[in-house]
Structure formats: structure tokens, C-alpha cells
Amino acid sequence: MLAKDQDLLDKLFDVESKAESLVAEARKEADRKIAAAKEKAEADVASAHESAVKSANEKKNAAAAAVVAEYEKAVASFKASLDATRVDEAAFRATCETALAKK
């Protein structure tokens, strides 16, 4: 009877050892899958971030170009207005003499 009990215990220990081995393998496989998923998620986030930054920079550059164009148009309009203005030196001289005489 002791030999049968010993054989039974040996088989149970063997089953337990195999179960531990399977659990360890499953844990390693799960860790590997988790690491791969984490790596993919980080790559996806980095890609999305780069895309968002690129898009924001393009929008900023387009807005800056529009502002520069509007500024240049306003300056050109102002210069044209100045060029079109007639200079009345006699009236200017008279205004200056009047202003200086009051002081």
C-alpha cells in the first residue's frame, strides 16, 4: 500500500510541477504580449502626436503668412495714400508760423 501511495504522490507532484511550468509559460507569454501592446500603443501615441504637431505648425504658418500679407497690403495702401496726398507748402508754412507766433 505504501508503494501505491508513493506512486500517487509522485504523480500528483509531477502534475503540480507541470502546472507550475504551464503557469510560468503563460505568465511569460502574457508579459510578452503586454510589452508588445505597450510598445505599439506608445508608437501610435507618438505618431498621433507628431501628426498633431505638424498640423498645428501648418495652421500657424498659414495664419502667419495671412497676417504678413494683410500687413504688407495695409502698408502699400498707406504708402499709396501718402504718395497721392498733395503737399501744400505755403499752407504748411503759414500754419507753422501761426503756431510759433502764439508761443
The listed range with the strongest mean pLDDT (21-25, 88-92, 93-97) is 21-25
pLDDT tens-digit profile of 1-40?
Answer: 688 888 888 899 999 999 999 999 999 999 999 999 999 9
pTM (whole model) above 0.95: no
Average pLDDT estimate for 45-59: 98
C-alpha cell at 80: 499709396
Cα(first)–Cα(last) distance of the chain, in Å? 134
C-alpha cell at 78: 498707406
Average pLDDT estimate for 38-55: 98
Rounded Cα gap, residues 19 and 13, in angstroms: 10
- pLDDT of the residue at 59: 98
Inter-residue long-range contacts of 94-97, CB under 8 Å, 24+ positions, other chains counted: none
- pLDDT of the residue at 103: 65
